[in-house]
Amino acid sequence: MHELNEEISDKEIRLIGPQGEQLGIMAPAAALKIADEQGLDLVKISPQATPPVCKLMNYGKFRFEQSKREKEARRNQHVVEIKEIRMSPGIDVGDFNTKLKNAQKFIADGNRVKVSVRFRGREMAHTDIGRALLERFAEQCAETANLDKAAKLEGRMMSIFLSPKAGK
């Protein structure tokens, strides 16, 4: 990842001290001597610069703090999942409201929701009922969610995607 001490093979480097102060342009051997005197490592932090930039630092401590920062970032990130809610065209009001509450809970948690209606048998002749059901569902979630994908029939399933509004 970073070039350390003897691995640095450039003709000259720009050296930065442990507190970020400029120590000037010099040969890597001279910089290595300064690093040894201070009991620090010489680390190339910007190889594409001309001349390359190296810094005096305790590399072990630097790596430890970097891994700590990465762990903290991983802990704070939220993975957006796609939750699915399935219904049939003949769903009743009570069941519809329960599924609606679940969807709103998923959206409040910051997840996307796929709402789908499955048509069985002769229900395929009445896909308009399923479309109206999905549109009503999207309307009910309108204040907390955006409609990503409008109702689309794929085989025997018609589905929509809802995602949380960005103001959360």
Give tens-digit pLDDT for 7-45.
888 888 999 998 889 888 998 889 898 988 998 988 888
Mean pLDDT value of segment 83-106: 91
8 A C-beta contact, residue 25 and residue 51: yes
Cβ neighbours of 2 (radius 10 Å) = 16
Question: Same CATH fold, 82-164 and 3-75?
Answer: no
Q: Give the per-residue pLDDT at 157.
A: 92
DSSP per residue over 123-148, as a string? GGGGHHHHHHHHHHHHHHTTTTEEEE
Q: pLDDT (tens digit, 9 = 90+) per residue, 114-136?
A: 999 999 999 889 889 999 999 99
Query: If one looks up domain 3-75 in CATH, what number appears?
Result: 3.10.20.80
CA–CA separation, 104 and 109 (whole Å): 9
Taking 90 as the threshold, does the pLDDT of residue 101 lie above it? yes
* Domain spans, the chain: 3-75, 82-164
Q: How many CA within 13 A on the CB side of residue 144?
A: 16
DSSP per residue over 25-59, as a string? EE-HHHHHHHHHHHT-EEEEEETTSSSPEEEEE-H
E strand or H helix that includes residue 93: helix 93-108
Sign of CA dihedral 157, 148, 107, 101: negative
Residue-averaged pLDDT of the chain: 88
| pTM for this predicted structure | 0.55
Taking 80 as the threshold, does the pLDDT of residue 166 lie above it? no
Taking 90 as the threshold, does the pLDDT of residue 99 lie above it? yes
Tell me whether strands 53-57 and 13-16 are parallel, antiparallel or unpaired: parallel
Question: What proportion of the chain, given as a percentage, has pLDDT over 90?
Answer: 30
82-164 has CATH 3.30.110.10 classification: yes
